[in-house]
Amino acid sequence: MTNNTPCTPDDLFKKLDTLGIETTTITHPAVYTVEESKEHCSNIPGAHTKNLFLRNKKGQMWLLVCLEDRKIDMKLLGKALTAGKLSFGSADRLMEFLGITPGSVSPFTAINDKDNAVKVILDSQMMKQSPINSHPLTNTMTTSITPTDLVQFLTAINHPPEELDMDNLTQLVQDLT
């Protein structure tokens, strides 16, 4: 693996092993949406994630990892992150910064962001559940990890995550103004 070559799932699993993090991974048909994931992965215990790769007009980027059924108010989220207007990052930007294609976005993809250009935001309600289930750089597998181990992993790859109380975005925004 060179600096510009994205990690593979095997590279990710080696990194997790090196950190002493235990995970469980299952293989399934490719899933591109939360609905497809529910069809193939609903039998996996724990929190299932929705992962949004976002950017603003200044080119700043965020990876929001939240509960799969969470409804997102993009205007409120932009205010809560003091980011201004948010939009989804393009497939090209996703490949450039996180080394993956649409459908495979997850907190694990931060391993490919060598320049620390993407800020990782975790839903604080999701972090109260265990395990957390996300794709390990491919949408044909799901990996289960504890919240503590997820934070350990993200911190070890220089992406210490921020937690955001997604249930109280309105209050958070009011407190900021």
Write down the residue that tokens 């999701």 correspond to.
126
What predicted TM-score, i.e. pTM, was given to this entire model?
Answer: 0.91
Query: What is the secondary structure of the chain as a DSSP string?
Result: --TTSPPPHHHHHHHHHHTT---EEEE-S---SHHHHHHHHTTS-SEEEEEEEEEETT--EEEEEEETT----HHHHHHHTT--SEEEPPHHHHHHHH---TT---GGGGGG-TT--EEEEEETTGGGSSSEEE-SSSTTEEEEE-HHHHHHHHHHTT---EEE-GGGHHHHHHHH-
Out of 22-26, 118-122, 171-175, least confident range: 171-175
The predicted pLDDT at position 172 comes to 67
Q: Is the peptide bond before 131 cis (omega within 30 degrees of 0)?
A: yes
User: What separation in angstroms does the CA of 11 have from each of 5, 16, 23, 87?
Assistant: 11, 9, 14, 30
Find out if CATH 3.90.960.10 is the number for domain 9-176.
yes
Q: Which pLDDT tens digit goes with each residue over 2-20?
A: 457 899 999 999 999 999 9
Q: Which pLDDT tens digit goes with each residue over 123-164?
A: 999 999 999 999 999 999 999 999 999 999 999 999 999 999
Q: Which pLDDT tens digit goes with each residue over 34-93?
A: 787 877 777 888 999 999 999 999 999 999 999 999 999 999 999 999 999 999 999 999
